[in-house]
Amino acid sequence: MAYWLMKSEPGTFSIDDLAARPKGTSQWDGVRNFQARNYMREMKTGDEVFFYHSSCDDVGIVGIAKVVREAYADHTAFDPKDAHFDPKSKRDAPTWMMVDIKFVKKLKRTIGLAELKADRKLDGFILTRKGSRLSVMPVAAPHWKAILQKE
């Protein structure tokens, strides 16, 4: 099993939105960064995911989800009316992928970015690197365990 972190702006899609979905499951679509897409291609069913709220007053890890469907073509790339439309992406050779995730739990508190950056146990954690802007990234097992201890 692998561990991941996925970022979302809570005004667009929050941990509460995921929990409220039928069966707590949602597609994770709209990723338009090649490295983040490549990480999603690596995700396997059962992998665990930290759900991270970004671009808000309370930035940080807010919950846990799990991957329930591995990478497949992101249909929003084919819809000219969708904000994530990409005319270069073709159905027979899609550029963009998505996965399905399922709500596991909301954390008792937000584990904020400043707290994560201050923890020496998290040295090397991609999220805390200067300039890290990826919306999907791997989390090393020792980092996953250290973060869970903060809850």
Q: What is the pTM of this model?
A: 0.95
Which pLDDT band holds residue 145 (cuts at 50, 70, 90)? very high
Could you give the CA distance from residue 10 to residue 110 in angstroms, rounded to a whole number?
13
The pLDDT tens digits for 65-103 are 999 999 999 999 999 999 999 999 999 999 999 999 999
Q: CATH assignment of 3-148, given 3.40.605.10, 3.40.50.300, 3.10.590.10, 2.60.120.680?
A: 3.10.590.10
pLDDT of residue 96: 97
Percent of the chain with pLDDT over 70: 100
The pLDDT tens digits for 30-64 are 999 999 999 999 999 999 999 999 999 999 999 99
Could you give the CA distance from residue 26 to residue 15 in angstroms, rounded to a whole number?
11
pLDDT of residue 48: 98
- DSSP-derived letter for residue 77 is G
Which pLDDT band holds residue 15 (cuts at 50, 70, 90)? very high
pLDDT of residue 41: 97
Spatial strand order in the sheet of 136-139: 25-28, 97-112, 60-73, 48-53, 3-8, 136-139
pLDDT of residue 151: 86
Which CB contacts under 8 angstroms, 24+ apart, belong to 15-19?
A: 15/51, 15/53, 15/62, 15/63, 15/103, 15/106, 16/106, 18/51, 18/63, 18/65, 18/101, 18/103, 19/63, 19/103, 19/106
> Is residue 137 pLDDT above 90, yes or no?
yes
pLDDT of residue 123: 93
CB neighbour list of residue 94: distance below 8 Å, 6 or more residues apart: 73, 74, 77
> With the C-alpha atoms ordered 81, 84, 88, 92, is the resulting torsion angle positive or negative?
negative
